[in-house]
Amino acid sequence: MQDEAIRWGPATLADVARRADVSKSTVSRALSNDPTLNIRDETRLRIKAAAHELGYMPNSNARSLRLARSWCVAFVVPELQNPVFGQTIDGAHRAAADRGYSMLIAPVEASPAHDELARNIVLGSRVDGILLNTLEYPKFLADTSALQARMVLVNRQTGADGEHCVLLDNEAGARLAVQELAKLGHRRIAYMPTSSVSWVSQRRREGYHLGMKAVGLEGEERIMPECEADLAAAEVCAAEILASPNRPTAIVAWNILLAVGVTRAARRLGIAVPEDLSVISLNDSSAAQMMTPQVSAVRLPLFQLGWQAACLLIDLIEGKPVAPEPVVLTPECVILRETTGPAPS
């Protein structure tokens, strides 16, 4: 122990190996969780204990140079303000950190040059792989593929050969919302879509139609005019529909912002929520409980979406076998809060 007492500077791999009484290569492989390393659990624990006692920190630069990897992945999202993306990013970040990777967040709208975004991320940032969340930029997808970057689509599917994706069952979420409202006695159930033409938008609209059919209301569907995913726009759009004589008694809204726009329009028109009008959002977040009234919502596994996507991407990076089929996550439940109630008589 005398050599450790007079050592200056941070602990090295050799210091840990000496303390654990194993070779440096064994220490390196044990601390990087090398699945091919065949050692006893007692030895593995002794190595980790030695590293902890000495305060050993792996040299990430040396590891990157040795393996020609950056140990960093990028998560590309359309925006950062949307709380839905925040939950998904959180799940991805946790999974990446557990596997020893850092994560770069790249909001598309923050880049002045979309044409060079893929090249800047893949080559400029030297990431090992990319997560793409609900992006609708065909050129970005094409550029990323051309650069032969490992890629996982998050809540998005193109149908291209060899693509890997983790999806929410958006159709099931919309069906669940319609069925819950039907249980409360509602028959005039409308759907409030966003103006986005995304893959998610198409799935949710289809889910609404399937839900109406499942509860025997086929032919009574009512699609409200499309509007921007913006609170003010949703309020204007909802006011027009709610002022009509044959207004709906329930609305399934694309997201929480649209749902809140509906409740504000109803309040302005003197329509009581939920006594005269019920509203359900097709995603849930902590913001739903902060609204007045609190918004009922379909809870989707957003954290798990990010977690599964990051795990899949890292498996691809590390050359592990992965299933070719998309990973599909089902809705968790419907949370009934203050914006839903029995249909008015």
**Of residues 184, 142, 156, 166, the one with CA closest to residue 280:** 184
CB within 8 Å of 100: residues ≥ 6 apart: 32, 33, 71
Judging by DSSP bridges, how do beta strands 296-299 and 333-335 pair with one another? antiparallel
Helix orientation angle between 170-183 and 199-214, rounded to the nearest 10 degrees: 30
pLDDT in tens, 118-136: 666 665 557 888 898 876 6
150-154 and 129-133 strand pairing: parallel
pLDDT score at 122: 63
Spell out, as residue ranges, where the chain has pLDDT lower than 50.
1-8, 61-62, 64-67, 110-112
Tell me what pLDDT residue 2 has: 41
Indicate the DSSP class of residue 120.
Answer: I
Q: Are 238 and 251 in contact (CB under 8 A)?
A: yes
> In the prediction, which pLDDT does 286 show?
82
For the stretch 229-249, pLDDT in tens is: 888 999 999 999 999 989 999
